[in-house]
Amino acid sequence: MIRCSLLTLLLFSVAAWRATAQAPLPAAFVQQLDAAQIEYFEPVEQQFRPLRALQNAFFPCDHALRKKKSRLEIRYRILPNDGSPLSALPQLRCLTTATHLASNGAHSTLAVHSIPADQVQEQYRADWGGIVFFQPKTAFSTRQHCKLLALYAEDKGLALIFFLFDQADEAPGDDWTNLRFR
């Protein structure tokens, strides 16, 4: 009887441990992070689970997470500095990406906000940061809204983080800091 109880307890402990263990990051995502000198921190709340990287011809992403108890989805695209003139123009890359992914509907709008330099440096160790709100094309996401957080560090790269959601209360605040430049 005691042996059966101990075995049951052990099995439940292993199952619980496996359920909370973090899945390894995709190798290609880790390579992009290293190339752009970015530190990535897995959300610790255990509220998110990884999604298969959404590779499509329209706009591929390097990594994706989904919140377990809501429809919030977070996608990451890391663009290391490749030495091209475009690499040094994060504002242009950010707005080009947003206009590519935004719906072309008659009532669609883009709202663009800059993050103050001292805040972006303190939170993300970045040189520039911006936020763009828009309604995404269905080829990119079936969610109604997208909040694009773009972070740039000179000679390192650009990180694009897409928060996709249906309700405004699902969107994380401006203090989302699960990555930063080294």
Q: Which two tokens stand for residue 134?
A: 């828009």
Greatest CA separation for the chain: 72
Q: What residue type is 73 in one-letter code?
A: E
Q: Which two tokens stand for residue 85?
A: 């003139």
Query: Mean pLDDT of all residues in the chain?
Result: 84
Handedness of CA 177, 178, 179, 182 (dihedral sign): positive
Q: What residue type is 50 in one-letter code?
A: P
Q: What residue type is 95 in one-letter code?
A: L
Q: Which fold has domain 24-181?
A: Protein Transport Mog1p; Chain A (3.40.1000)
Check if the beta carbon of residue 161 is closer than 8 Å to that of residue 40.
no
Mean pLDDT, range 27-43, rounded to an integer: 92
pTM (predicted TM-score)? 0.83
pLDDT tens digits, one per residue of 50-81: 877 566 678 889 999 888 878 889 999 999 99
Q: What's residue 9's pLDDT? A: 41
Where exactly are the structural domains of the chain? 24-181
